[in-house]
Amino acid sequence: MSDTATLNPPAQGRQSAPSSVRRLDGKTVLVTGAARGIGEAIARRCAREGAQVALCDLDRQAAQAAAEALRQEGGLAAGFSADVADGESVRALADAVRRYFGRIDVLVNNAGIVQDAQLKNMRDEQWEQVIAVNLSGVYRCTRAVVEGMLEQGSGSIVSISSIVGLYGNFGQTNYAAAKAGVIGMTRTWARELGRKGIRANALCPGFIETPILAAMPHKVLDEIVGRIPAGRMGRPEEIAAVAAFLASDEASYVNGAVIEVSGGATL
């Protein structure tokens, strides 16, 4: 079992977070892969909107540091470590978050990795690792929180897919399969859980400036940006804004949606 419940000390009271909109007051949001990139931006946005945020990451210290940064800004946050690819670790994570915050209202399935190779060069480990984190990880995390949401009669599951899950991408057989699978699961959960007060939606970012793109050659990135109607890559905060909407009750009739946030990259 991995070391899951590594907590920062409880935040001392709620201070006003620097956001004009507080759509998530009183809700507990669990974000996976929250130490950096898009996950960190989602955690920050949710904290600013009044949520108590559980930041989960593989890297315990990084999760704690990210939670501490949110507390410094006046948010309520705690860091947890877990490997979303490991069922036992994920179950322990869900238990630890419920013990700490009392409930889980929103799950943001964000943790993800890339292991790119053209099909003819892809190794089984590359296939298996990406499926384990990006597809099975989303299943495992959602499975671990759904019973609590059913008991509550409410919940929002926001899963970060990708435009690659919709359209495929050169060198990303494994990633495309996982991200398309996330869309399939999301639509299934929307059907299964919609009458129980639980919504499930998928968000498909285009190319967003985060460390995950570090492995891509500059030349390829420049070519990609040249084809995006917005004329630039996206920022993590631009994904976080849509994720916070989907998490909130403002999206009360949004269920089973697959929302592309790509600056028009696929047009």
In 110-226, the DSSP E strands lie at 155-160, 198-205
Residue 38 as a binder of ligand NAP (CB under 6 A): the answer is yes
Euclidean distance between CA atoms 39 and 194, whole angstroms: 25
In the set 100, 167, 175, 253, the catalytic residue is: 175
Euclidean distance between CA atoms 71 and 44, whole angstroms: 10
37 or 155: whose CB is closer to ligand NAP? 37
Instruction: Using CB under 6 A, pick the residue from 24, 31, 84, 94 that binds ligand NAP.
Output: 84
Name every residue whose Cβ is closer than 8 Å to that of residue 105 and which is 6 or more positions away in sequence.
27, 28, 29, 149, 152, 154, 155, 156
| Single-letter code of the amino acid located at 109 | N
Q: Which of 168, 177, 180, 170 is nearest to 127 (CA)?
A: 177
Contact stretch for ligand NAP (CB under 6 A) within 16-24, 91-99, 106-114, 184-192: 106-114
Instruction: For the CB of residue 70, give the shortest distance to ligand NAP in the complex, in Å.
Output: 15
Instruction: For the CB of residue 162, give the shortest distance to ligand NAP in the complex, in Å.
Output: 4
The number of C-alpha atoms within 13 Å of 93 and in the hemisphere containing its C-beta is 34
Residue 263 as a binder of ligand NAP (CB under 6 A): the answer is no
Q: Which of 204, 202, 199 is nearest to 255 (CA)?
A: 199
Q: Which of 178, 42, 152, 64 is nearest to 108 (CA)?
A: 42
Instruction: Using CB under 6 A, pick the residue from 24, 30, 35, 242 that binds ligand NAP.
Output: 35
Residue 260 as a binder of ligand NAP (CB under 6 A): the answer is no
Contact stretch for ligand NAP (CB under 6 A) within 1-9, 34-42, 96-104, 216-224: 34-42
One character per residue 200-219, x = contact with ligand NAP (rule: CB under 6 A): -----x-xx-xxxx------
Residue 44 as a binder of ligand NAP (CB under 6 A): the answer is no
117 or 150: whose CB is closer to ligand NAP? 117
Instruction: For the CB of residue 124, give the shortest distance to ligand NAP in the complex, in Å.
Output: 18
- Tokens 């059907």: give the residue: 191
Residue 7 as a binder of ligand NAP (CB under 6 A): the answer is no
Euclidean distance between CA atoms 198 and 61, whole angstroms: 32
Q: Is 175 a catalytic residue?
A: yes
Q: Are 164 and 210 in contact (CB under 8 A)?
A: no
Instruction: For the CB of residue 38, give the shortest distance to ligand NAP in the complex, in Å.
Output: 4
Q: Catalog residues that contact ligand NAP under the rule CB under 6 A.
A: 32-33, 35-39, 57-59, 83-85, 110-113, 133, 137, 160, 162, 205, 207-208, 210-213
Which residues are known catalytic residues? 175
